[in-house]
Amino acid sequence: MCITGGEIGCSVCKGIVVMAKSKKQWTWAKAKPSKVPDAVKREVSVKANALVEEHIRPEHVKPAGKNPRFNYIEDIFTKWHGRYFYFMAKYASAGGNRISPFFEVGFARLEFIGDNRFDLAYFRHTQKWWPVFSDLTADEALNLVRSEGIFTP
């Protein structure tokens, strides 16, 4: 259709064609809860701390050598921040040019999405959290933290 509503190439429009605009549409997304129930926090904390004590810490926290040249893991712990539950590694900085003797880095994050369900993400080398699993129970998420290699400190 030309700009006058007639045939394409008429004497008025000289071949100018009007294209229809694409329609934008709003979609509904379920709002994420702002607060995690205390019972869920306790349950996840107890299970995650047991996982850290029994599996993650013995596998990854090793004593430093005599003259360490590189950063090494000093401790592994968990913490809640808002609706996020983090698995954290505390690194000791080696060498004489260090800025701080210790620093902390997260390596796995559970995001509470409601109804006792979580999204699971890992911390990429780009310094951003990357979600890889969604809509998991706490047990499913903790099993993935233990078994999947991307959640290694």
Tens-place pLDDT, residues 104-136: 999 999 999 999 999 999 999 999 999 999 999
7 against 81, higher pLDDT? 81
Average pLDDT score over residue span 11-33? 69
Confidence of residue 66 (pLDDT cuts 50, 70, 90): confident
Mean pLDDT of 18-43: 81
> What is the average pLDDT value for the chain, to the nearest integer?
87
Q: Is residue 5 part of a domain?
A: no
User: Residue 140 — very low, low, confident or very high, per pLDDT cuts 50/70/90?
Assistant: very high
What is the pTM for the complete model shown?
0.77
Q: Is there a contact between 103 and 91 (Cβ–Cβ < 8 Å)?
A: yes
Q: Which residue has the tokens 């596998």?
A: 59
17 found inside a domain: no
Whether residue 142 lies inside any domain: the answer is: yes
Domain count for the chain: 1
Phi then psi for residue 60, to 5 deg, are -115, -20
Enumerate the β-bridge partners of residue 138. none
Q: Which of 113, 136, 104 is nearest to 145 (CA)?
A: 136
In this structure, are residues 132 and 145 in contact, taking their beta carbons and an 8 Å threshold?
no
| In-domain check, residue 11 | no
Is residue 13 very low, low, confident or very high in pLDDT (cuts 50, 70, 90)? low
| 57: enclosing H helix or E strand | helix 57-60
Q: Is residue 29 part of a domain?
A: no
Residue 22 burial by Cβ neighbours in a 10 Å radius (0-12, 13-18, 19+): exposed
Is 138 within the bounds of a domain? yes
Q: 90: domain range?
A: 38-151
138-147 and 38-51 helices, crossing angle to 10°? 20
| Residue 107 belongs to a domain | yes
**In this structure, is residue 74 part of a structural domain?**
yes
pLDDT for residue 5 is more than 90: no
pLDDT at 32: 74
